[in-house]
Chains A and B, each alone.
Chain A
């Protein structure tokens, strides 16, 4: 029954998406004429720009801003961003805090001109695709962004109240232990906030879905040797 509902939802999504795409396509063709080539001199690079610093997988799309919204090059260049690739990333203040102060993207993304930089995270950032391996306090616990964001969970549900968006931050905390993750704890933190048996499977069950152990960790990291796996002795 559940699967059927899921299938139905998926179908609905596809239908809606394709309708949207067709409409968007039509709009573009009437504006530009279907045969006209995208002009990079007018609209900027056609390809998405990916920023790697300070956060990986942060994207900016020129066509969305210029072609679709009608912004001019000098709206951003060179007042907010230098045209040279990687120039903004080299600056120390190219971060979310500066955006909130009205620098860089924040000049427009302030909640009035365009959506607030402090919302719609997923419009510019995509979640890391790589599995995260926690090795403290025990080796090893996995977390997959993809399997969680696939369920329609927004970034803000976990970031930054439960987990800071900094690799290894939780592992430095003394309370990042099962004592606080078990849903029957007095003060539930981290994964336990959702993994309580109501929103997601309870943290007191299925330990080894997330806990892959030293063996799983070594396998994932391609290590054939680990604790007690000192090769070459018989």
Chain B
């Protein structure tokens, strides 16, 4: 707002809402939930509120930007950190066995429950295959790119000059420098090693004994991923939504 114009405005005081705010509220009210209920019910709840938090993170049904839209749902509370997924990933994708080189890892948070039990929370993390990937945006040689056919953020190892800018740009710390390849490496949903060869699951999801990692194509309406993301009363969240990267790895507790 122009500060000169603002200074000429009449003081609206502090006891009532400024007219600007009132106008905003009305605008929000016009996007009514009545539309979602076939127009039969009129309510002044905003669209965003009606869809809940999910509206921010779950892609709208039918609006997937890729030919195949691979995604993963992680049922976080089922993870017991047995790390079979990590072993399977290293074997399948030849990831060197060092603590700071991983395509997927499991984070741990130690808590004490209300009843006094020591209880850990385990959270598997991997590349989120973002729809607006910050790593792709910063790559000076276009060695990393968003694959239009699969929605996977891929690496062209030959083009990588090892500047590691993508590593600092990634909000999820999901990239590492592979000394064997002399290029940055990252999770690609096992596209080269499994999915392109006809497998339906990534190495990590196939190795999981507790079905924590559900992998699939969002466009497959009979698929589990579609089912999890489009069940209305289930809470779905993503990591670091504030970055606006629109990740394709979703978390839930059921």
Contacts and interface: CB of A to CB of B under 8 A. Distances in A.
A168 interface: no
Given A139-B83, A213-B81, A229 B99 contact: yes
A230 interface: yes
A215 B86 contact: no
A209 B121 CA distance: 10
Contact of B80 (A211, A227, A228, A231): A211
Given A231-B99, A233-B98, A213 B120 contact: yes
Contacts, number: 73
Contacts of A212: 81, 120
B242 interface: no
A5 B160 CA distance: 68
Interface string A129-153: 0000000011100000000000000
Contacts of B77: 207
Contacts of A173: none
A216 interface: yes
B97 A209 contact: no
A48 B108 CA distance: 44
Interface residues of B, number: 29
Interface residues of A, number: 22
B120 A216 contact: yes
A35 B37 CA distance: 92
A209 B80 contact: no
B156 to A, nearest CB: 25
B119 A213 contact: no
Given A213-B108, A228-B98, A230-B99, A206 B82 contact: no
Interface in B73-113: 77-78, 80-84, 86-87, 90, 96-102, 105-106, 108, 113
Given A139-B83, A228-B105, 17 more contacts: A137-B209, A206-B113, A206-B117, A207-B78, A208-B80, A209-B117, A211-B120, A212-B81, A213-B83, A213-B120, A216-B120, A227-B83, A227-B86, A227-B97, A228-B86, A228-B97, A231-B99
28 contacts: A137-B209, A138-B209, A139-B83, A178-B210, A207-B78, A207-B80, A208-B120, A208-B121, A209-B119, A212-B81, A212-B120, A213-B83, A213-B122, A214-B83, A215-B81, A215-B108, A215-B120, A227-B83, A227-B97, A228-B83, A228-B86, A228-B90, A228-B98, A229-B99, A230-B98, A233-B96, A233-B98, A233-B100
Which 5 interchain pairs have the tightest Cβ spacing?
A213-B81, A211-B80, A138-B82, A233-B98, A214-B83
